[in-house]
Amino acid sequence: MRNLLKNALMIVAIMAISLTASAGKKVVHFTVSEPDAKIFVDGKNLSSGQLEITIPSYACVNIKVEKIGYLTGLIEFCNKSNVSPPPKTYFYQMEKDDAYDASEATDVANVDIEIKTNKKEDEAWKLLSQIITTYFDVIEVTDKSTGYLRTAWVIQTFKQKTIRTRIIVKLGSTDPLSYKIKLVSEVANSGQVSVKSDELFKEWDRILRKYGEVIHEAASRLSN
């Protein structure tokens, strides 16, 4: 009986020593491939490029890495007895943002651009409709009598973003004849979003490159 008790106490002691050894805080030397990338630890921006990350005993920390033009990185390190210990060093290789590469910064996104024309109303409306349908397949609403046209959303999915784009045309004035054209560009920060999920989209100050010339082409051809 004494031997059994002695063995039990030894097992408890060994377990206690093991838990104590794993209970101390851990430090990870974290480095990012982009020296100016921001490093967030549990939501707080603590550094750029590299950081010594301390992981308390029996806890996890969440790391987020951000840089414009690159995909956001999410990493978790845990310091718990039931999981593998965090590494002493960790290198994170950032990946280019495919949505950023497929788009361009612009000052014409989501604003009304007025285009004046000397053409007759029927001719101008026909030409404007032809131009828009070379970029957008589906016209959702069109009413020549009020000078209003709206395309359906065109959606394009990327790794971490979903972009939706449409054109809205409104009659500006009849004398002189002018139209207001808005190239609507919106982004959702997920690669799997329905085009109808309005609450997930917000205005984007970039446009997909394939739509980059639509406003310029309309202005040029209507003014000739």
Examine residue 198 and state whether it is found in any structural domain, yes or no: yes
Is pLDDT at 99 greater than 80 in this prediction?
yes
> Which residues span the domain enclosing 28?
23-96
Give residue-wise pLDDT tens across range 4-41.
555 544 554 445 444 444 458 999 999 999 999 999 99
What is the per-residue pLDDT for 12?
Answer: 46
Average pLDDT of the chain is 91
Same domain, 105 and 92: no
Kindly report which listed range (19-33, 62-76, 84-98, 137-151) carries the lowest average pLDDT score: 19-33
Examine residue 163 and state whether it is found in any structural domain, yes or no: yes
DSSP string spanning the chain? -HHHHHHHHHHHHHHHHHHHHHHS-EEEEEEESSTT-EEEETTEEEEESEEEEEE-TTEEEEEEEE-TTBPPEEEEEEE-TTSPPPPSEEEE---B-HHHHTEEE-S-BTSEEEEE--S-HHHHHHHHHHHHHTT-S-EEEEETTTTEEEEPPEEEE-SS-EEEEEEEEEEEEETTEEEEEEEEEEEESSSS--TT-GGG-EE-SEEEGGGTTHHHHHHHHHH-
Q: Which of 53, 79, 96 is the last residue of a domain?
A: 96
Is pLDDT at 173 greater than 80 in this prediction?
yes
- When divided into structural domains, the chain yields a total of 2
Same domain, 147 and 85: no
Examine residue 8 and state whether it is found in any structural domain, yes or no: no
Give residue-wise pLDDT tens across range 175-222.
899 999 999 999 999 888 999 999 999 999 999 999 999 999 999 999
Same domain, 77 and 148: no
Quickly state the pLDDT bin for 81 (edges 50, 70, 90). Answer: confident
